[in-house]
């Protein structure tokens, strides 16, 4: 049990993006484990290969914008029409064109804050250290290295089977290593 708690997963380094994409597709079709691909540039088709294309921040952004815009508009209406009705220069109590500019500003601000918070939650941040930083040569992932990480989060994870599956790939990884927590 202590070995499982100190073991994060298996990492494989690849030389080409096509090799990484093929490895992700092959391992995902076998149902080996939880996969993550690390690359300095976006790889076309990687979201579909990893199965993460369904996650969208657009719904959260739209919800935040609508909440902020209508919330600000409602507060202004309550303040000027219900709580402190003052007729100025014969204007009607609900003079809505004056409320649009602050409502749009509040909508954009609220949308940005909601989007920021949701993005932090989805990325599991703030986190000062991640086990992926224990991979030898991980610093190169920002320039020219490509890594595939198979995480050992499930109870039926078999490290030997993952290493064997990685070694049998048509495009062989440059290096396969176990990652400690």
Say how far apart CA 122 and CA 46 lie, in whole Å.
18
pLDDT at residue 109 in the model: 98
pLDDT score of 1 more than 50: no
Q: Are 173 and 17 in contact (CB under 8 A)?
A: no
Question: Given a cut of 60, is residue 4 above it in pLDDT?
Answer: no
Q: How many CB atoms lie within 10 A of CB 79?
A: 11
Output the average pLDDT for the chain. 89
The CATH number of domain 2-55+130-180 is 1.20.140: no
With bands split at pLDDT 50, 70 and 90, how would you rate the model's confidence at 53? low
**Tokens found for residue 124:** 């599991």
Instruction: Tell me what pLDDT residue 123 has.
Output: 83
Of all helices (H) and strands (E), which one includes residue 12? strand 7-14
Say what the pLDDT of residue 177 is: 94
Residues with Cβ within 8 Å of 66's Cβ and at least 6 positions away in sequence, in order, are 107
Q: What percent of the chain has a predicted confidence (pLDDT) above 90?
A: 59
Average pLDDT over residues 133-150: 91
Q: How confident is the model at residue 2, as a pLDDT?
A: 44
CB atoms within 10 A of CB 48: 14
CA distance 114 to 75: 19
Cα separation, 27 vs 162, whole angstroms: 9
Domain with CATH 3.30.70 in the chain: 2-55+130-180
């Amino acid at each position: 049990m202590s070995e499982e708690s100190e073991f994060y997963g298996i990492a494989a380094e690849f030389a080409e993006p096509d090799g990484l994409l093929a490895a992700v597709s092959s391992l995902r079709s076998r149902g080996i484990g939880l996969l993550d691909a690390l690359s300095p540039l976006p790889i076309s088709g990687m979201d579909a290969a990893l199965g993460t294309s369904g996650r969208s921040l657009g719904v959260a952004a739209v919800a935040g914008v609508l909440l902020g815009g209508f919330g600000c508009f409602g507060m202004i209406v309550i303040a000027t029409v219900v709580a402190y009705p003052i007729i100025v220069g014969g204007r009607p109590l609900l003079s809505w064109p004056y409320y649009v500019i602050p409502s749009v500003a509040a909508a954009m601000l609220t949308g940005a804050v909601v989007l920021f918070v949701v993005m932090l939650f989805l990325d599991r941040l703030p986190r000062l250290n991640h086990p992926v930083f224990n991979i030898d040569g991980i610093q190169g992932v920002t320039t020219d290295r490509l890594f595939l990480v198979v995480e050992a989060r499930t109870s039926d994870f078999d490290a030997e089977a993952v290493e064997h599956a990685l070694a049998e790939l048509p495009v062989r990884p440059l290096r396969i290593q176990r990652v400690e927590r």
